[in-house]
Amino acid sequence: MDCRNIQRLLPAYQDKELTGAQVREIEDHLLTCTACRDMKSAVSESWSNLGAWEDSEVPRRARESLMSCVSRQRKMLWIKIALPVAATLVIIFGLTIRYMGYRNEGRIQVPLASTDQMSTEHADVDEDELIADLHILQDEEFFDAVEELVSIDYLPLVEEPSQTETDEQRSSLPVIVT
């Protein structure tokens, strides 16, 4: 090998990545060639001179602004989770109140019906039908509400069903007897 090839192999020689034959050839050459010996020193010295470029400290504001960005993100995450949960609870609560309201109406109307010469038996049947209808009503409304909720991104608004709609539903109930 000539000097150029020897020098090209010096980093691999220093990394101990050459074959035994290559190592012997390089070491024999280095015994007699000043230029290649100098190059060998230059390779290791320059690599160690790279240490003159020492580490820099991270600016404090970089860390601080990162941490404040992270805590903002966490708050947003909480809002994303908490809002839909709160909205769902409000809907369930509202439906429960309405369901209770229907039940009470039914109970009140039983004695009213009996004063209108209706039999107790008849009134009982009406109440069962009422409850069955209410279950259907409740399920449909619940799923409508959930559907509405998932279609809204972050700020779900809970809308009350309109009054006229409620009246229509009420008037169609079999318990209303005049």
Partner 1 sequence: MEETDIALMARIKMGDAKAFEVLLARHQKSVFNLALRFLGDPDEAEDIMQNTFLRILKASRTYTPEAKFTTWLYTIVKNLCFNVLRSRKSVELVSMDNEYLPDLPATEENPIARISQSQLRETVIGAIGKLPKNMQMAVILSKYHGLQYDEIAAIMGCSVNAVKLRVHRAKLILAQELKGLKQET
Q: Based on the shown chain and the rule CB under 8 A, indicate whether residue 97 belongs to the binding site for partner 1.
A: no
Q: What tokens were used for 19?
A: 């074959």
What residues have CB less than 8 Å from 145, skipping those under 6 apart? 91, 95, 158
Q: Based on the shown chain and the rule CB under 8 A, indicate whether residue 85 belongs to the binding site for partner 1.
A: no
The type of residue at 1 is M
**Hey, CA dihedral for 11, 13, 17, 18, is it positive or negative?**
positive
**Which residue among 70, 97, 136, 157 contacts partner 1 (CB under 8 A)?**
70
For the bound state, the minimum distance from the C-beta of residue 36 to partner 1, rounded and expressed in Å, comes to: 8
Q: Based on the shown chain and the rule CB under 8 A, indicate whether residue 49 belongs to the binding site for partner 1.
A: yes
What residues have CB less than 8 Å from 37, skipping those under 6 apart? 30
Return the one option of Zn ion, partner 1, none that residue 132 interacts with (CB less than 5 to 8 A, by type).
Answer: none
**Which residue among 19, 21, 31, 50 contacts partner 1 (CB under 8 A)?**
50
Q: Which residues of the chain form contacts with Zn ion (CB under 5 A)?
A: 3, 33, 36
3-state secondary structure 52-66: HCCCCCCCHHHHHHH
Interface residues with partner 1 (CB under 8 A) are 3-4, 7-8, 10-12, 15, 17, 35-36, 38-39, 42-43, 45-47, 49-59, 62-63, 65-67, 69-71, 73-74
